[in-house]
Structure 1
Amino acid sequence: MKWLWPVLLVALIALPWWGSDILLQFGIDALLLATLAQSWNILGGYTGYASFGQSAFYGLGAYGVAIAMVQLNLPFVAGMALGVVFCVVFALLIGVPVLRLKGHYFAIATLGLAQVAGAIVSNIGFAGANIGLVLPMLNNNLLFYETALGLLAAATATVWWLSRSRFGYGLIAIRENEGAAAVMGINTTLYKVLAFVIAGVFAGLAGGVHAYWITFLDPAGAFDLTLNVKMIIMTVFGGPGTVFGPVVGAFLLSAISEVLAAKVTSIAALFFGVVIVLAVVAMPRGLADLRRRIARLGLGYFADNIRRNKL
Structure 2
Amino acid sequence: MKAVRVGLVLLALLLLAGVPWYGSDVLVQFGINTLLLAVLAQGWNIIGGYTGYASFGNSVFYGLGSYGVAIAMVQWGLPFGVGLAFGVALAVVFAFVLGLPVLRLRGHYFAIATLALSQVMTAIVSNVELAGRNIGLVLPPLNNDRLFYELSLALLVVATLAIFWLTRSRFGFGLIAIRENEEAAAVMGVNTTLYKVLAFALSGVFSALAGGVHAYWITFLDPESAFDIGLNVKMIIMAVFGGPGTVLGPIVGAFTLSAISEYLSSAVTSIAGLFFGIVIVVAVVLMPRGLADLLRHLCKTGWRYFIDNIKAHRL
Q: Which bracket does the TM-score occupy, shorter chain normalised?
A: over 0.9
CA distance in 2, matches of 1:102, 1:160: 26
- Give the Cα separation in 2 of the matches to 1:222 and 1:122: 11
CA distance in 1, matches of 2:71, 2:296: 48
Count of aligned pairs: 311
Of residues 26, 49, 55, the one that matches 2:53 is 49
Post-superposition Cα deviations, 1:180-228, rounded to whole Å, max 9, x if no partner, equal 0000001000000000000001000000000000000000000000000
Match 1:129 to one of 116, 125, 133: 133
Unpaired runs of at least 5, structure 2 = none
The aligned runs of 1:215-226 (5 Å cut-off) are 215-226=219-230
Specify the alignment match of 1:207 in structure 2.
Answer: 211
Q: Following superposition, which runs of at least 4 residues in structure 1 exceed 6 angstroms of deviation? A: none
Q: Could you state the TM-score of these two structures normalised by the residue count of structure 1? A: 0.99
Match of 1:139 among 140, 143, 147: 143
- Superposed, 1:186-197 pairs within 5 Å as 186-197=190-201
Does residue 33 of structure 1 match 2:6? no
Which residue of 2 is the match for residue 270 of structure 1? 274
Q: Report how far residue 296 of structure 1 moved.
A: 1.3
How far is 1:276 from its partner? 1.0
Amino acid paired to 2:63: G
Aligned match for 1:19, one of 6, 11, 23: 23
2:8 aligned partner: 4
Q: Offset at 1:133?
A: 0.3
Instruction: Select 2:183's aligned residue among 179, 183, 193.
Output: 179
Alignment of 1:212-251 (within 5 A): 212-251=216-255
3-state SS of 2:89 partner: helix
Shift of 1:310: 2.2
RMSD: 0.7
Segments of structure 1 that go 5 or more residues without pairing to the other structure are none
- 1:309 is displaced (CA, Å) by 2.2
Q: Amino acid of the residue matched to residue 293 of structure 1?
A: H
Using the alignment, how far apart are the partners of 1:138 and 1:265 within structure 2? 31
Distance 1:224 1:264 in 2: 24
Work out whether 1:120 is the aligned partner of 2:116.
no
Deviations 1:7-37 (A, max 9, x none): 2111101111111000000000000000000
The equivalent residue for 1:73 is 77
Superposed displacement of residue 87, structure 1: 0.3
What SS does structure 2 have at the residue aligned with 1:228? Answer: helix
Deviates more, 1:93-102 or 1:299-308: 299-308
Map of 2:155 onto structure 1? 151
Partner Cα separation in structure 2 for residue 147 and residue 13 of structure 1: 10
Q: Which amino acid aligns with 2:278?
A: V
Please report the TM-score for the alignment, with normalisation by the length of structure 2.
0.98
* Counterpart residue number, 2:284: 280
Which residue identity is paired with 2:293? D
Match of 1:91 among 70, 95, 114: 95
Tell me how far 1:271 sits from its aligned partner. 0.3
Tell which deviates more after alignment, 202-211 or 113-122: 113-122
Alignment of 1:154-173 (within 5 A): 154-173=158-177
Alignment partners' CA distance in 2, 1:81 and 1:62? 11
Please say which of residues 61-70 and 257-266 is displaced more in the overlay: 257-266
1:60 correspondence with 2:64 = yes
Q: Distance in 2 between matches of 1:280 and 1:7?
A: 32
Cα distance per residue 1:26-58 (max 9 Å; x no partner)? 000000000000000000000000000100000
1:111 corresponding residue in structure 2? 115
User: CA–CA distance in 2 between the matches of 1:114 and 1:157?
Assistant: 28
Q: Sequence identity, in percent?
A: 69
Give the residue type in structure 2 aligned to 1:182.
A
For each residue in 1:140-172, what CA deviation from the matched residue of structure 2 results, as whole angstroms up to 9, or x when unmatched? 000100110011011000000001100000000
Q: Which amino acid aligns with 2:190?
A: I
Looking at structure 1, the residues matched to 43 and 269 of structure 2 have their Cα atoms a distance apart, in angstroms, of 29
Distance, in Å, in 2 between the alignment partners of 1:115 and 1:121 is 10
- Once the 2 structures are TM-superposed, how far is the Cα of residue 116 of structure 1 from its aligned partner? 1.2
Amino acid at match of 1:118: T
- 1:206-264 Cα offsets, whole Å, 9 max, x none, are 00000000000000000000000000000000000000000000000000000100011
Structure 1 residue matching 2:300: 3-state secondary structure:
helix
